[in-house]
Amino acid sequence: MKKKLIDGKTTSNKIKKRIAKEVAKIIDNDEKAPHLAAVLVGGDPASEFYVKSKEKACKSVGITSSVYRHSEKTTEANLLEIIDFMNNDPEIDGFIVQLPLPKHIDVDRIINRINPAKDVDGFHPMNIGKMVIGAPTYLPATPAGIMMMIKEYKIETAGKNIVVLGRSNIVGTPISIMLSRKANPGNATVTLCHSRTQNLEEITKQADIIIAAIGQAEFVKADMVKKGVVIIDVGIHRVEDKTKEKGYRITGDVAFDEVSKKASLITPVPGGVGLMTIAALLENTLKAAKKEVYR
């Protein structure tokens, strides 16, 4: 089977170009540029990398960005105060609290405090509820980015067997809901697999499309998939590799070299879903600035 790459770079650049045009229009109208803020607690290198990538992407489309950095020891009360400040600052159109948070902070309490109108991550229960019923809202960025890829590559989802690996609130659960909705993309028969799933290989072998979001490096192997499968790999890991100059390689939840031989379409890591996540977040920020979801 000749594999074809789903190119996140080209696709996200196309979306960013459209966003940049819309931002330029807003500024031409003498309105303020959209503003995305991020809260980063502690020094987790992956979170630091994500936040830096978001800042860079904002800059490339003319969106103002700001980052509020806080020590690992920040209290929950302090973080709630910061959120109140952002909720009330008219300069900030939307903001995110980068996850994971330190263990002493209750993530649900933090997310619940975010004004849903500024929740460009789409994590607030009100926005999740709207997503579930298909009402206009901020879609969580990674699933939204995956939907953009599916649209761009005209991947048929109606009536297809889609297997989602992983049930996180950020990716697995929302993407499984979005793809089973009566919509296009959507109308799929979705199976959501997780750590308690039995006979996983039997299920994955039936899949026309696999969305891998389990957080385990190279978990999906060639003998788990059928010929012609479409693979969307959400994972990103750094694994030791002595054959590489740096001593490591970046890889996803899928063993790319072997699985790509059987796949008809596959996302690379890096250069796939990660870039789409950022494009989707910019799109949500633009929506927030234009007050498209909440007036």
Task: Work out which of 97, 148, 175, 225 binds ligand GUN, going by CB under 6 A.
Answer: 97
Q: Rule CB under 6 A: say whether 98 interacts with ligand GUN.
A: yes
Q: Rule CB under 6 A: say whether 141 interacts with ligand GUN.
A: yes
**Residue 251-290 contact track with ligand GUN, rule CB under 6 A, x = bound:** --------------------------x-------------
Q: Is the dihedral of CA 212, 214, 218, 221 positive or negative?
A: negative
Q: Using the structure block, give the residue that is written with the tokens 């926005």.
A: 127
Task: Work out which of 99, 107, 203, 255 binds ligand GUN, going by CB under 6 A.
Answer: 99
Q: Is 206 a catalytic residue?
A: no
Q: Rule CB under 6 A: say whether 146 interacts with ligand GUN.
A: no
Give the residue with the Cβ less far from ligand GUN, 97 or 229. 97
Q: Is 121 a catalytic residue?
A: yes
207: part of which helix (H) or strand (E)? none
Q: Is the dihedral of CA 110, 116, 121, 123 positive or negative?
A: positive
Q: Is 216 a catalytic residue?
A: no
Residue 14 Cβ vs ligand GUN, minimum distance, rounded to whole Å: 21
C-alpha 72/C-alpha 45 separation (Å) is 13
Cβ-count burial 101-119 (b if 16+ within 10 Å, e if not)? bbeebebeebbebbbbbbb
- What is the DSSP secondary-structure string of 14-71? HHHHHHHHHHHHHHHTTPPPPEEEEEEES--HHHHHHHHHHHHHHHHHT-EEEEEEE-
- Where in 191-220 is the site for ligand GUN (CB under 6 A)? none
Active site residues: 54, 98, 121
Binding site residues, ligand GUN, CB under 6 A: 96-99, 121, 141-142, 170, 277
